[in-house]
Each structure stands twice: as structure tokens, then as C-alpha cells.
Structure 1
Amino acid sequence: MLESDNASYLVENIVPANAPLRIAVVTETWPPEVNGVALTLSRLIQELSQRQHTIQLIRPRQDRHETESHREGWSELLLKGMPIPRYPQLKLGFPSKKSLIQAWTQQRPDLVHIATEGPLGWSALQAARVLRLPVTSDFRTNFQSYSKHYGVGWLQKPIVAYLRKFHNRTLCTMVPTQAMHDQLKLLGFNNLQVVARGVDTQLFTPNKRSPSLRSQWQVDDKTVVILSVGRLAAEKNLDLTVNTYQVLKQNKRPVRLVFCGDGPYRAKLQADCPDAIFMGMATHSQLAVAYASADLFVFPSLTETFGNVTLEALASGTPVLAFDCAAAKEVIKDEHNGWLVPGEDAQRFVLRALAITQNASTLRAAQQNAASSIQKWEWSSIATQVENMFRRVLSTESVER
């Protein structure tokens, strides 16, 4: 049985074991939008589709000319949305309860899976409640931690209260790490299940290392290329990345800093670190080459629910320096495939970078261990965990109303 304290659905029309499922997936972000939620969710759904499950994807229309995609085993329902403040390239779905009730009355899914907790996600929760459909959810973004970085730290408690109310109305909430599970449980979240994110080890591989790209970066074999990948935003703690780089330079380390990604913090970073390389947004293939061509992945973020970039860097043969939290805590073995800094000690983070780059053999040893250390996080294994979780939900004849 799943951990279940106060879910409010009756699971009807139990699906036979091993039968393909009809899964409605609700999300407010999807490729070509580039962020961890969109990229990891799309890969998971791809894996589930390959297992003959029928997927109905429900999301905001990304532009007014976009049309719905339909093929065997796959359909889309595109609804209205609006740009998210500070992130105009991303959409926030409008409330759409009536549209969802109509769609699911005509084509009833076996299960509704909600990946984001915005207005569209809340509408899906309400529509499923009316139609007595089982619902699962994802906890993918630390909105409550982000609030302090945008001058609205006072909103942290109301945000937690909303998220708790949202997720406790689902039969199961997937969380990416045991630490996140324990943190949310202390905050009153129920029905939690740890399911890690996956990584594409065919795409992210040490074989993608490119002398040509390193030449464009104007570095030689003795230069340590420090890479940062992700949204350039205040909550990512990127000032510490810049500070670490500058201290390394001051101590005569042969280093080069490369940022891959874009966002509202880019102008400040460029002003603070004009000699860094800013690649901007990158395709998956470009990103894979960048990871493999770097020497050290520096990831000082303290607000991640997981941080898939950690897996991608390791799969590419690039060891990681990170704080002892989120995915790093789960996948990094200190001084084997990377380095973990306890707590939130910025000074210790910088000192660890100095120690790592003092001797070339230290970095080389970790590079040799990086790719082989994350084999169990391949997507096929993660999809099996999710599929099994869905089937456990559906095999539950009834839960507390």
C-alpha cells in the first residue's frame, strides 16, 4: 500500500495488471522550453510511450500558431496560458476545469498525472475530483525556497500551505530524493514516493569531448575549464560560482569559466565576470559537447529539488563540485566522482575548489570515475519505477475519502 493519510478519491474501473494505461499528463512547461521540468518530464513520457501506454498531454499553448499533435498512442490538448513574470519564454496555464471535464468525459484516462502546481494543475485536480479519476503528482520545483531570492520571503509559509494542500489531494506525490521526502514529510506532506530523475547516457558521454570547442574557448590541455549549466537566475547562487573562479585566478590557477544557459541574471554576471564565456541557450547536442569538453562542473545551487545537471555532467565524464544536497547528495561519492561541501558554507566551497585544482592528478582521478558512477540512473530504470507506482495506485481498490 502507498503511504496515504487523507487522499480524497475512489479508484474505479481497476486496470488489469500489465495492461497498457491511458495516462493524462498535465504540465505547464514542455520542450522546446529549456528547463529541468520540461526536459526530464518529456523524456519520462517518451519512455512510457515506448511501453505502449497511451498518453494525453495537456499543457498551455506556447504560441498562437501552435497546433495540437496527434498520432497513435499520443494526443495533445493545448489550452490558454500567459507568460510567467521574469520568464516570458515560459507559460502559466489559465484555469481550465470545464475544458478538462469535457475532454476527460469524452476520453476517460485511467490516471491523471500532474507535473506542475500552477492554475492548470489545480484545474486538473478539481476536474479529476469531479470525475472520480485517480491522480498522482510530481514535486519538481522548490517554489517555497525561491521566494526569498525575489524579495517575497514572507510568502514562503503561504506557498508551503498551498503546495501541501495541492499534493495531499493526490494519491501519490513523486519526489526525487530521500532528503526531499523527509523534508516534505516534516512539513505535513503525505503520500510521498521517492523516484529519482534519469539521465540519457547515450547523449551525455565522455566521447563527446571536443578539442575544437576547447579551441573556441581559447584553452589548452593545462587549462581547467569550469562549467556552469542552467538558468541564469538569482536562486541558483551563481555569485558563488563567479567568486570561486576569481579566487582560483588570483591563486594562479589556469582556469576558464563557461556559462551555458540564459536568464535574468546574465547581465549582472557579465558585468561581474567579463572574461567568462557565455554560450547562451544550447540544444541537447550542444550541451552534451559542452559538458564533455569541460573539466569541472561547479554547482553551488541550494534550491534544487534534484538538479539533473549533476547527472548530465557525471555521465559526460565531468566531476562535480556541489553542496551536500539534492541530487549531489544522492549521486556523488566525495573524492571519487566529485566533491561535496557540507551545509551552506561559501568559504569552504571556494577552499575545496582550490584544493581540487592544486594538483592535476586529483581532477583526472575523479574524471575517470564520473561516467561509470551513474549507470543506475538511466531513464529505462526510472520509467520502470514510475510505471510500477502508477500500477500500485490503480490496484488500490479504495482509499480514504
Structure 2
Amino acid sequence: MTKTVQAARRQQHITIVSETFPPEINGVANTLRHLCQGLMQRGHRVTVVRPRQRHESKGMVPSAGHGLFSHEHVVTGLPLPGYADLRFGLARSGELRGLWQKDRPDAIYVATQGPLGVAAVSAARKLGLPVSSGFHTNFHSYSRYYGVGIFEHLLCAYGRWFHNRTSITLVPTRKMAQTTAAMGIRPTGLWSRGVDCNRFAPHKRDQALRKRWGLKENERAVIYVGRLAPEKNLCMAVACFERIRGLHPQSRFILVGDGPLRRQLAEQHPDYIFCGTQRGEDLARHYASGDLFLFPSKTDTFGNVVLEAMASGLAVIAFDDGAASEHLRHEENGMKADLREDEGFVDGALRLADQPTLLNRIRAQARLDALELDWNSQIEQFEQLVFNQTARTGYHAINKQSISLL
């Protein structure tokens, strides 16, 4: 066993810095919940630095962490423009330096690239602490969905500057590694995601819930789970469902989640079923009670919901990107379309709606494949990528400085 692997096996103290964290509901918060829980279970000490969330008042005693972390440091939080239910953090680099001088971490992982992330990277570099970052969100791609597409190049340059100040940037897929390389971000390491197949499982299918949706035994529940927001390409999901309903009038469109588009969608489509935000076992029941799962996003870096749908025994239709590019095999355990082929997305959904045998075969295979995607292996990969930076911090700091001077 190498020294670096041995180091990863010893108890380490890692600080995770993020502008979103459970109980907030989004892909980053969900990933960090599994990461923190996995690291704690493997004997590591985890400190979380995050903004104050909407439900927390100033001076409120921080939560005990529910087994997700050993300690936390809460900073000022302000609403993210366009995402009022999400926050960004404000902290001085000196504040974080003081925190880490008193209790020096072995490694720092910065999951978000907002003001809190910038302050954390600056503080870590000044203290000579190994700091890694994660490419969790395609913010530069989001700009075109919020009427500020002219800033996409600036946001891309900002992302390059931010991530290249860390020793390594973790990306969830091989395609995202290519994307970040094209942006000029390097080096990168592949750190994917897992899924809890005990929580998300086909046996949680709820016939009473399906009856409330207005469905009979052989009628189709087409389901979407995620934020109801412009960057999720929901117009594609709506167009796809309407094509399905044109051939199968008794189908129902089930939307699980909330966001800025909910009111508009509900007004335009009062016959759709809006379930709002679901958590825990309720979320698992909603997944398992569906049949076809639409994931129309072209901006997600991964899309944890794809794996949750597979684990729940759903037939996923997605574009060949993110989690689908890694885990879906067309016509075997799901259906996927080229990013430029919207009609291919619709065709895949129509085939599944029209062919019960194909649908059932894909659903069964999706569940089998999801059983191989456990979180334990991903936590181990994270350990090796992040904790191994400790021995290389000096090397990367010298080389990053040399690059910045060229």
C-alpha cells in the first residue's frame, strides 16, 4: 500500500466550504450530504463552512449536523439573485484564516465559486493549506436562460480564474472533464456520484398515490423531478409530454419540485399535477409511482435525479450529457438523445409510451444497473483525490504561480 493511500485511510480533518447545504434541496446540497456522511462514517472529522440559511435567524444556535459534520461555521447569507430560496455567503478571508489557524484542517474542499468560495481559497492559499474545488454548477451556461447571455464569456473566465487557484478541480463526468479542459481549467480529477438504492426502490410504488393522480393500472405517469427553473429546459419536457398525451390521452404529467416557473406552468397547464417539494420517503414514493422520467436539462453538470430515477425503476429519457452520458445505454437501461436533437428526445419518450415490453425491460435493467452505483466507492475516490493533495500542495502552488506569471 502506498503512503498516499495510507494517508487517506488515517483520520483526517477536512473542511467543506459551500454556499448551499442540507436541508436545502438541490444537486449540490444532496451530493454534500452524502459526502459528509460518508467521510464521517469512515472516521474523518468534517467541518462545514456555509451561509446562514433562510430559516435561520441571526444568533440562532447552529444545528448538531445530524451526523453530517463534527463542527460548522456559519457566515452571513444573502439571497442569490433569481434564486431567492438559495443563498450566497459573505466572509472575510481574514475571518477564515483565523478559524483555520486555531484548528488547522488537513484539506479544504470548496464546492461553490461564490464570494464565500473566493474567500476560502484565498485564506487557504495564504496559510499553505491544500485546497481543492468542485465543478458542481454550470453558472456560465445558466446566463443565457436569464437574459444575460452576453456575460457568458466573462463568467467562463471567472470560473477559470477561480478553479485554477486550487490544486485540483473535481468534475463528475468525463464529458465535464472535456468541458473544463476547453475552459482552461486544469488539473481535474473525476469524482462521480452514487445513489441510495435502499431509499429509492421500485417496491415503494404507491397505488393510492397513483389513484390520486387520476391513473388506472396501465396508464402512464410521466414524471419530472427537479427545480422548476428556466435552465432546466422545461419547455422541452412540456412539448414532449403533449406529444405523448396526443397518442395516450389518459397519461398524466407529474412535476415534483418548486421554483420560479411553477406559477407560470400551473397557469398554462392547470391539468398538470404539481406536487411541490418532496423529501425522504415521500420523494421515494413519488419516484417509484411514475413510469417514464423526463430529464430535459442541457446545463446540469451531472443530474443526481437520473440515478434516483434509475434506482426507482423508471425509464429515463435524457440528453447525452451529465449522468446520462455516463450511465445510460440507449435502448438498454434508458433512452438518450444527442444534445442537438430535440426530436430524438421526443422520439425516445414516444417509443417507451407505445411499447410496454420495451418500457418494462428498460425499467428492470435501470434498477439492476443502479444497484452497482453505491456511494462508498465514490467517497473512497474523493479521499484519494483530495487528501492526496496534501503531499503535493507545495508542488502545485509553485507551478500555479509560475503559470500566472507567464
TM-score range, shorter chain: over 0.9
Whole-angstrom distance in 1 between the partners of 2:135 and 2:373: 18
- Answering whether residue 17 of structure 2 is matched by residue 20 of structure 1, we say no
Correspondence for 2:32 among 31, 38, 41: 41
Equivalent-residue separation in structure 2 for 1:237 and 1:84 (angstroms)? 20
Distance 1:320 1:232 in 2: 18
Q: Find the counterpart in structure 2 of residue 68 from structure 1.
A: 62
Q: CA–CA distance in 2 between the matches of 1:15 and 1:116?
A: 29
Task: Tell me how many residue pairs correspond in the alignment.
Answer: 388
Find 1:374's aligned residue among 346, 363, 370: 370
Over the aligned positions, Cα root-mean-square deviation in angstroms equals: 1.7
Q: In the alignment, does 2:290 pair up with 1:294?
A: yes
Partners in 1 of 2:80 and 2:155 — Cα distance? 17
Aligned residue number for residue 344 of structure 2? 348
Question: 1:92: Cα distance to partner?
Answer: 0.7
Partner deviation per Cα, 1:258-288 (whole Å, 9 max, x = no partner): 0000000112211232211000011122111
Q: TM-score, normalised by structure 2?
A: 0.92
Q: In 2, distance between residues paired with 1:269 and 1:17?
A: 48
Matches of 1:397 and 1:139, distance apart in 2: 20
What one-letter code is carried by the residue in structure 2 that aligns with 1:295?
Answer: D
- Separation of aligned partners in 1, 2:8 and 2:269: 57
Flag as ranges the 4+ runs of structure 1 deviating above 6 A. Answer: none
Q: Is the partner of 1:78 in helix, strand or coil?
A: strand
Distance between the aligned counterparts of 2:315 and 2:225, measured in 1?
Answer: 13
- Paired residue type of 2:13: R
CA apart distance, 1:19: 1.7
> Secondary structure of 1:213's partner?
helix
Contact 2:8 2:383 (C-alpha < 8 Å) held by counterparts: no
Q: Could you tell me how far apart the structure 1 residues matched to 2:91 and 2:257 are? A: 30
What SS is found at the alignment partner of 1:133? Answer: coil
**Counterpart secondary structure, 1:228:** strand
Q: Work out whether 1:80 is the aligned partner of 2:73.
A: no
1:220 has 2:231 as partner: no
Aligned residue number for residue 278 of structure 1: 274
Q: Is contact 1:69-1:75 (8 Å) kept?
A: no
Structure 2 unaligned regions, length at least 5: 399-406
CA distance in 2, matches of 1:70, 1:375: 31
Question: Match of 1:262?
Answer: 258
Deviations 1:83-113 (A, max 9, x none): 1122222111013212101100111111111
Equivalent of 1:147 in 122, 139, 143 = 143
Q: Are the aligned partners of 1:222 and 1:254 in contact in 2 as well (CA < 8 Å)? A: no
Deviation at 1:348, TM superposition (A): 2.4
Tell me if structure 1 keeps the 8 A contact 2:315–2:362.
Answer: yes
User: 2:109 is paired with a residue of what secondary structure?
Assistant: strand
Superposed displacement of residue 18, structure 1: 2.6
Match of 1:242 in 2: 238
Higher helix fraction (1 or 2): 2
CA distance in 2, matches of 1:292, 1:29: 27
8 A Cα contact 1:196 1:377, kept in partner? no
User: Can you give the 5+ residue segments of structure 1 that lack an aligned partner in the other structure?
Assistant: 1-13
Percent identity between the two aligned chains: 39
Instruction: Please say which of residues 228-237 and 374-383 is displaced more in the overlay.
Output: 374-383
Question: Quick check: 2:129–2:393 contact (8 Å CA) kept in 1?
Answer: no
Higher relative contact order (CA 8 A, sep 6+): 1
Secondary structure of the 1:180 match is helix
Give the letter for the 2:62 counterpart: E
Distance change (3 Å), C-alpha of 1:314 and 1:70: closer
User: Given that residues 15 and 394 in structure 1 are in contact (C-alpha distance below 8 angstroms), is that contact kept between their aligned partners in structure 2?
Assistant: no
Q: Which residue of 2 aligns with 1:100?
A: 96
Output the CA distance in 1 between the equivalents of 2:248 and 2:62: 55
